[in-house]
């Protein structure tokens, strides 16, 4: 038995010395040109697959990826943040990704054999030692549109469909130079047909300035918007805020609200509040007074967007800006029914009158 222990001790010392030689002696060639020695790619890839499947959220956490606007919003973020390495449907990778080790797979290959919950984990966490970054925010709800897009790619999205989803509108002659990039999501006037994207044509310039600066300095959390604001300068952001703040609000509502009882319940909450929930109109209008320009206007906003944001506020997930604590406190006692009713009432209001 003593000889067995001695043998293990010798092997341990040899293993240590071998490892030290590799680490401190530079014996392992880290050149990307040379690649890994045989067997290492298999070990790394198998480790990656099993790590993702162990840690991915449950399937029950996956929302409705087919909901209106999900794929389109995810495609637009992918085009800005991910296409540079993974290319896009109907496109080939440019030269640099093809000589990386490991090589980022073309997106048509990258999405194969993954479930939506697993794709969410990969996008959120990234992959160390591969060049794959983690999601640039702590909020993870806005990853789901990207997953919806990846699922559409998995189903065989064509290059033509991708081009339609990511087209930049033409810039009006008097518009800021950076407008086409923002208009890809928000439209040239600040109104998009996508219910998941907030309307900007109804917002005052001061609120838009505060919001864009909060995204830029990271005090307001959103992986999609963190990437977007990093594409332009602070001066561009102020020009964009002025542009969208000067647009005439489109009086046509984003959402058709047919449940009048729901709207009436929302009116009571919005106009009067309760013992636990203050009246929303005190800050968000109408007739909110001089401070109204510091708060977002909600009338005519999409029901989908309003519901999502109120859930985030209530659950303490969304923050950012000087009014964050005030809004989290105001929303903390809202029930799911309250959120549905408030969203319906604000969405049913004519934006142009606010």
DSSP conformation letters of 258-323 = --HHHHHHHHHHHHH--SSS--THHHHSSS--GGGGGS---TT--HHHHHHHHHHHHTT----STT
Which of 34-38, 86-90, 312-316 ranks highest by mean pLDDT? 86-90
2 in helix, strand or coil? helix
Q: Which of 73-82, 84-93, 286-295 has the lowest mean pLDDT?
A: 286-295
Other C-beta atoms lying within 10 Å of the C-beta of residue 257 = 17
Runs of H (alpha helix) within the chain: 2-25, 40-55, 70-81, 83-86, 107-110, 116-125, 144-154, 159-165, 179-186, 205-217, 223-229, 234-245, 260-272, 281-284, 303-314, 324-331, 336-348
CB-CB contact of 149 with 75 (8 Å): yes
**332-340 own/partner pairs: CB under 8 Å, 24+ apart:** 333/276, 333/277, 334/277, 334/310, 337/265, 338/269, 338/277, 339/307, 339/310, 339/311, 339/314, 340/262, 340/266, 340/307
> What b/e string do you get for 313-336 counting C-beta neighbours within 10 Å, with b at 16 or more?
bbeeebbbbebeeebbebbeebee
For residue 142, pLDDT over 70 is answered with yes
Digit-coded pLDDT (tens) for 226-265: 999 999 999 999 999 999 999 999 988 899 998 999 999 9
Q: Which two tokens stand for residue 73?
A: 């919003």
Digit-coded pLDDT (tens) for 280-314: 998 897 766 556 788 899 999 999 999 999 999 99
Distance CA 49, CA 196 (A): 32
CB-CB contact of 302 with 195 (8 Å): yes
pLDDT band at 146, cuts 50/70/90? very high
pLDDT at 9: 82
Q: Which of 28-42, 62-76, 225-239 has the lowest mean pLDDT?
A: 28-42
- Report the percentage of the chain scoring pLDDT > 90: 74
pLDDT at 133: 95
Q: Which residues partner with 312 through β-bridges? A: none
If 0-12 CB within 10 Å is exposed, 13-18 middle and 19+ buried, where does residue 130 land?
middle
pLDDT band at 351, cuts 50/70/90? confident
For residue 2, pLDDT over 70 is answered with yes
Domains and CATH numbers, the chain: 40-62+79-161 (no CATH), 179-245 (1.10.760.10), 260-353 (1.10.760.10)
CB-CB contact of 284 with 300 (8 Å): no
């Amino acid at each position: 038995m003593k000889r067995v222990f001695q043998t293990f001790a010798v092997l341990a010392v040899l293993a240590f010395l071998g490892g030290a030689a590799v680490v401190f002696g530079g014996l392992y060639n880290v050149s990307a040109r040379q690649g890994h020695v045989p067997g290492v790619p298999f070990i790394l890839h198998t480790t990656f697959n099993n790590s993702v499947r162990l840690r991915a959220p449950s399937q029950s956490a996956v929302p409705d990826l087919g909901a209106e606007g999900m794929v389109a919003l995810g495609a637009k973020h992918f085009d800005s943040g991910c296409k540079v390495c993974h290319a896009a449907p109907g496109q080939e990778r440019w030269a640099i990704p093809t000589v990386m080790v490991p090589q980022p797979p073309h997106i048509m290959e990258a999405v194969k054999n993954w479930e939506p919950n697993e794709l969410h984990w990969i996008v959120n966490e990234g992959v160390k030692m591969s060049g794959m970054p983690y999601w640039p925010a702590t909020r993870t709800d806005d990853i789901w549109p990207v997953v919806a897009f990846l699922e559409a790619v998995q189903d065989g999205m064509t290059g033509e469909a991708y081009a339609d989803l990511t087209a930049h509108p033409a810039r009006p002659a008097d518009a800021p130079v950076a407008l086409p990039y923002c208009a890809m999501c928000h439209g040239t006037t600040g109104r998009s047909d996508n219910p998941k994207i907030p309307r900007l044509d109804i917002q005052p310039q001061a609120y838009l300035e505060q919001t864009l600066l909060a995204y830029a300095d990271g005090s307001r959390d959103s992986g999609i918007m963190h990437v977007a604001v990093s594409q332009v300068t602070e001066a561009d952001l102020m020009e964009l805020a002025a542009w969208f703040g000067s647009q005439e609000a489109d009086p046509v509502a984003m959402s058709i609200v047919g449940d009048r009882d729901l709207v009436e319940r929302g009116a009571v909450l919005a106009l009067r509040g309760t013992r636990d929930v203050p009246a929303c109109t005190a800050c968000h209008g109408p007739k909110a007074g001089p401070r109204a320009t510091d708060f977002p206007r909600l009338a005519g906003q999409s029901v989908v967007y309003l519901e999502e944001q109120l859930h985030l506020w209530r659950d303490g997930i969304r923050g950012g800006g000087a009014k964050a604590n005030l809004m989290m406190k105001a929303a903390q006692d809202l029930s799911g029914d309250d959120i549905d009713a408030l969203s319906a009432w604000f969405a049913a209001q004519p934006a142009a009158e606010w």
